[in-house]
Amino acid sequence: MVLPRQWAAIRALPRRTLALAALAGLFLAFHFASWITSLEHTTIASSVVLVTTAPLWVAMLSGLVLHESIAPAVWLGLGVALLGGVIVGVSGECTLTSGQIACPPLSYFASGKNTLGNLLALFGAWMSGAYLMVGRKVRPQLSLGTYVLLVYGTAAVVLVILALISGQPFTGFSPQTYLWLVGLALIPQLLGHSAFNWALRYLPAAYVSVALLGEPVGTVILAFLLLREFPTPLELFGGLLILVGIALASRVSTAPTQSPAKIKTGDH
């Protein structure tokens, strides 16, 4: 029942709107492909720190691309949350002893063997930022169901093509692996990303991107609940900074940029 209604809505859309939604899906696919691949070529710390710079690029380009001004409170919240994300990202490589933080030299994170992975993670951040900005542009014109069907569908097709080109296997995994893959599709993607896409209709892209920095906090919590991995003092401190940064940014009063009369379909 739902899918036929969405297809009917899609067929009635202008070509430009369809193209923008497909472009958002393309950026999302490149984000996933480049970031996940980066983990094979660099440290988790470097990858996480670089990919979480996405909100910074969104904030820097929102004025130029979306003509959305960034309030000082959002810049402050972004800075605090980014610092927290960096601390959480490097917590696996650094230690906190007697009130002092000891980390490997910067050359460890930027060594030659990690260069490809670092570049892929940075590219993943750019693609994530582009995905959010295009979504902010087109999302007020579409219902959430129509938008995610177009964007996720495009991303899925592109990722399958990339997997075929790179020779990645689709079979031969354990049943538990397939179960986790289904869980990834249902919870982080269908629920998590869809929540951000819902917010893009009402909030500036820069603010929504700051909320993305809450992901490391969720990672620490899930690691404790599922893997019984207790967070380190650095992870707790970084997570606290992320939450403070998001709270600071959320103090900004925001409102939809378009009136309901200009929105073609509602979120049903």
Q: Are 54 and 201 in contact (CB under 8 A)?
A: no
Q: How far is CA 4 from CA 1, 8, 11, 149, in A?
A: 6, 6, 11, 12
Predicted confidence (pLDDT) at residue 111 exceeds the cutoff of 50: yes
Predicted confidence (pLDDT) at residue 76 exceeds the cutoff of 60: yes
Predicted confidence (pLDDT) at residue 135 exceeds the cutoff of 80: yes
pLDDT of residue 113: 61
Predicted confidence (pLDDT) at residue 97 exceeds the cutoff of 80: no
At 18, list the tokens.
């369809």
Helix %, strand %, coil % for the chain, to 5? 75, 0, 25
Helix 54-65 to helix 205-212 angle (10° resolution) is 180
121 exposure class (CB count in 10 Å sphere: 0-12, 13-18, 19+): buried
User: Beta-strand (E) ranges in the chain?
Assistant: 95-97, 100-102
pLDDT above 70 covers a percentage of the chain that reads 81
Look-up of token digits 């509602």? 266
The predicted model scores a pTM of: 0.76
Mean model confidence pLDDT for the chain = 80
pLDDT of residue 31: 95
pLDDT of residue 124: 93
pLDDT of residue 112: 57
At 5, list the tokens.
């209604």
Residue 92's pLDDT band (cuts 50, 70, 90):
low
- The span from the CA of 132 to the CA of 262, in Å, is 21
pLDDT of residue 253: 43
Residue 262's pLDDT band (cuts 50, 70, 90):
very low
pLDDT in tens, 167-217: 989 888 999 999 988 988 888 788 888 888 998 888 888 878 887 777 767
Q: Which of the residue ranges 6-15, 34-43, 124-133, 205-214 has the most confident prediction, judged by mean pLDDT?
A: 124-133
pLDDT of residue 259: 38
Mean pLDDT of the region 86-99: 71
Residue 145's pLDDT band (cuts 50, 70, 90):
confident
pLDDT of residue 42: 77
pLDDT of residue 130: 94
Look-up of token digits 């958002």? 24
Predicted confidence (pLDDT) at residue 261 exceeds the cutoff of 50: no
- The span from the CA of 80 to the CA of 85, in Å, is 9
What backbone phi and psi angles, to 5 degrees, belong to 101? -95, 125
